[in-house]
Amino acid sequence: MDPILLGEILAVGLFASIVFILMLGYPVAFTLPGVAVLFAVLGWSLGVFDLNYFNSLPLRYWGILTNDVLIAVPLFVVMGVLLERSKIAEDLLTTMGQLFGPVRGGLGISAIIVATLLAASTGIVGATVVTMGLISLPSMLAAGYDKRMASGLICASGTLGQIIPPSTVLVVLAVVLQSAYSQAQMAKGNFQPETLSVGDLFAGAFLPGLLLAGLYILWVGGRAFFLPHTAPALVLDAAQKASLPRRVVIALVPPLLLIVAVLGSIIAGVATPTESASVGAVGALVLMLVRMLSEWYSRSLSPERVERFNFWFWIALLALLAIVDLVAGALGLLTLAVVLLVGLLAWVLLLRGTRAQCIRSLSETGTSSLVITGMVFVIFFGASVFSVVFSRLGGENLVHEFLNAMPGGADGALFVVMAIIFVLGFFLDPFEIIFIVVTLAAPVLLKMDVDPVWLAILIGINLQTSYLTPPFGFSLFYLRGVAPPEVTTGDIYRGIVPFVAIQVVCIFVVWYFPALATWLPKMLYG
């Protein structure tokens, strides 16, 4: 048999075997390199693969370990875990639910707004879905909401953290597409290609992420208008109405400050997107310490006095930040954040009860960030082995020929890739799809002059559906674990159907209006 044809057959077998084994539930970090090595040995025995190709792996690994972009991954994880420990999400959900609750569909709309704010400040899907499932779902059910709509909107809005920056999926996509874009440009004779940064993807995802959240709100509002019994209004007592303005300030200011710290430091040019992750981590630590101190004082003071103190604290802090910004600018704000952090840490160390809680939270944060960061790097290493074997067996040329043969040129090829990603999303998680499909298809699509930012945002929205589509949608499992018994698994599965359809609609809107993804990066970075 022709060696080229035999190599391509093995490449197809390698791809199919990895997808099948991952569907059986084996971890991607070991499936990618393990199956790739087996096919490499098989190819070597058949004379179509040279084992010396593995000599390039040390350089690939060194490139991964020295990649500055990946520093953002553990820092964003730290930021998200700290916010989860500080219970800011719980305050947001309760307060915003009471703010919008008196309107039909208001509880659902408030859940989407809170999820959007959490997505822009934490980006951790599991924590958001579980928190909303524990707090918002019982409130909506008690108010008479339809079980399917309530569970569906919690699952869907909880996944917004995968497209609204800062997002670890966008960080990993940026790393993969950086290499693919450089290869595509050099293959076209451009040996000084433009760079693709995390900041480009963060800016590009901002408007599509808000668009998706807006479409969710339109759906909930429209259903509440035409089917009022599925989303009735919430009735508040006089005491709740009287204290609501103060609680809105206390609940909204912390996450908004963090969003401004992360995204504002990028826009102001004070920090790169990678450095902004450290700004977010410091800001999240400050917010967690403030929350701990507030809880400590609530043991000896009445809830009303603690609430009043928190209200004036955040008002005073906002005024102080405004003055510092006018006098010293963004660098002054960063200096103030560090001073606050040091001062709060010193205060916590003086309070014995709060000190133990602080140490426990920091320990849990360090463990979580270490596990997630280690997982990401191990997957990168495994993906490098897969990439070497697949490309040297001729799979890269096969993918190139396959996509080039699609009718419609670049649009046809992109449609096929997006369809494959959508179908694989039923069985695989976003990182697995990125390292298997995107690494293979992106270089070919970019050679066809597909805009890299636009491509990344389309893929990001598409990957988000993998959290919702059964049988392996992670958001469905998260909610199932905390939902009350009256909400069945069938209710959850049927509830996400309209929201998956909305995500598909959002993909086509961004497809036909690329400026939604490309306008803001051009405005910010030229």
DSSP 439-478: HHHHHHHHHTT--HHHHHHHHHHHHHGGGTSTTS-HHHHH
Q: Which among 108, 122, 154, 27 has a CA at the least distance from the CA of 480?
A: 154
pLDDT, mean over the chain? 81
**Stretch among 149-153, 371-375, 416-420 having the lowest mean pLDDT:** 371-375
Helix (H, G, I), strand (E, B) or coil at 489: helix
Calculate mean pLDDT across residues 258-270.
72
- pLDDT of amino acid 410: 83
Helix (H, G, I), strand (E, B) or coil at 301: coil
Calculate mean pLDDT across residues 186-211.
79
Return d(Cα 400, Cα 362) in angstroms, integer.
48
What count of other Cβ atoms lies within 10 Å of the Cβ of residue 194? 11
Tokens standing for residue 307: 């609430």
Q: Which among 67, 80, 119 has a CA at the least distance from the CA of 280?
A: 80
Q: Which residue has the higher pLDDT, 315 or 122?
A: 315
Split at pLDDT 50, 70, 90, the class of 360 is confident
User: How far from chain centre, in Å, is Cα 94?
Assistant: 23
pLDDT digit string (tens) for 445-477? Answer: 888 888 889 999 999 999 888 888 877 777 887
- pLDDT of amino acid 26: 77
pLDDT digit string (tens) for 390-428? Answer: 888 887 777 777 787 778 788 888 999 999 889 888 877
**Stretch among 43-57, 102-116, 166-180, 331-345 having the lowest mean pLDDT:** 331-345
pLDDT at 237 over 70: no
Tokens 């509830």 sit at which residue?
A: 495
- pLDDT of amino acid 505: 94
Tokens standing for residue 465: 């559906």
- pLDDT of amino acid 86: 72
Tokens standing for residue 157: 């809005």
Return d(Cα 272, Cα 263) in angstroms, integer.
10
Split at pLDDT 50, 70, 90, the class of 498 is very high
pLDDT digit string (tens) for 343-357? Answer: 777 777 777 667 777
Q: What is the 3-state secondary structure (H, E, C) of 343-371?
A: HHHHHHHHCHHHHHHHHHHHHHHHHHHHH
- Rg over alpha carbons for the chain, rounded to the nearest Å, is 24
Return d(Cα 286, Cα 501) in angstroms, integer.
39
**Stretch among 239-243, 276-280, 398-402 having the lowest mean pLDDT:** 239-243
Helix (H, G, I), strand (E, B) or coil at 72: helix
Distances, alpha carbon 430 to alpha carbons 50, 402, 437, in Å: 31, 23, 10
Split at pLDDT 50, 70, 90, the class of 289 is confident
pLDDT digit string (tens) for 297-330? Answer: 777 777 777 778 778 888 887 788 778 777 766 6
In the chain, pLDDT over 70 holds for what percent of residues? 92
Encoded amino acid at 271, one letter: A
Q: Which among 143, 142, 277 has a CA at the least distance from the CA of 202?
A: 277
Does residue 448 contact residue 418 with C-beta atoms inside 8 Å?
A: no
User: Among 181-185, 221-225, 317-321, 498-502, which range has the highest average pLDDT?
Assistant: 498-502
Residue 194 DSSP code? P
Q: What is the 3-state secondary structure (H, E, C) of 29-44?
A: HHHHHHHHHHHHHHHH
What count of other Cβ atoms lies within 10 Å of the Cβ of residue 419? 11
Return d(Cα 445, Cα 268) in angstroms, integer.
33
Encoded amino acid at 427, one letter: F
Calculate mean pLDDT across residues 291-300.
75
pLDDT at 61 over 90: no
User: How far from chain centre, in Å, is Cα 495?
Assistant: 22
Residue-wise DSSP of 235-263? P--HHHHHHHHHHHHHHHHHHHHHHHHHH
Tally DSSP H helices, then E strands, for the chain: 23, 0
Q: Which among 195, 208, 162, 318 has a CA at the least distance from the CA of 253?
A: 318
- pLDDT of amino acid 217: 92
pLDDT at 373 over 90: no
Torsion angle, CA of 413/191/519/174, rounded to 10 degrees?
Answer: 70
- pLDDT of amino acid 526: 66
User: How far from chain centre, in Å, is Cα 387?
Assistant: 25
Does residue 496 contact residue 473 with C-beta atoms inside 8 Å?
A: yes
Tokens standing for residue 507: 């993909």
On whether the pTM is more than 0.85, the answer is no
- pLDDT of amino acid 106: 82
Residue 272 DSSP code? -
Return d(Cα 121, Cα 105) in angstroms, integer.
25
Angle at 166 between CA 163 and CA 168, to 5 degrees: 75
Distances, alpha carbon 399 to alpha carbons 34, 282, 429, in Å: 22, 44, 22
pLDDT at 270 over 80: no
